[in-house]
Amino acid sequence: MMAWTSRGLRGSTLEEMINRTNEQYRDKHLALIQKVPTPITPIKIDKESRHITLAYFEKKSTVDYIGAVQGIPVCFDAKECKTDSFPLANIHEHQVTFMKDFEQQGGISFLLLYFTARDEYYYLRYETMKTFWDRGQNGGKKHFSYTELETSFFLPRTGSSVLVPYLNGIQKDLEIRDSKAD
């Protein structure tokens, strides 16, 4: 069983931005996306702050977010990257399996990447992620680089109040899927 020791607010900025975006999408009746809680068993709790400081994961989590966009099932995981090279070790096999199964059921799976040094968000389609994953599993590079990414899936910052406009990525993804279905 894996153990977890709190290391503060790791990744909380990206998560908070996505959570606020999800609230905006819900308020506008565009999407209903929920954060998937990671199932843990607390072992140590700081009595003063009432924070969990040591816990065991009960089971492997699937993805960070799941829900529906205009009736389409959607799941995604959010990942931060400090450099222009994203290690495939940051994607876990059980996540790839879950996303594959989700796609087979007619849903849309993707990774939402945040390149922190560039302050850029990227919508990584499941199909593209799987290509990188398979390459790494078959003896190829164990990472993918910023320059390998399709530029049309970078999520532009617009004047809107939406912090992480991932619906733009979903729309482009759907257009590609529709064109392949024809």
Q: What is the identity of the amino acid at 54? A: L
From CA 2, how far away is CA 168, in angstroms rounded? 36
- Residue 77 is labelled as binding a ligand: yes
Q: Which residues pair with 137 in a beta bridge?
A: none
With residues binned 3-state (H G I as helix, E B as strand, rest as coil), the percentages for the chain, rounded to 5, are 35, 30, 30
Helix (H) or strand (E) holding 36: none
- Cα 179 off chain centre by: 25
- Residue 24 is labelled as binding a ligand: no
Q: How many residues does the chain have?
A: 182
Q: Which residues contact 9 (CB under 8 A, 6 or more apart)?
A: none
Which residues belong to the annotated binding site? 62, 64, 77, 95
Which residues belong to the annotated binding site for Mg(2+)? 62, 64, 77, 95
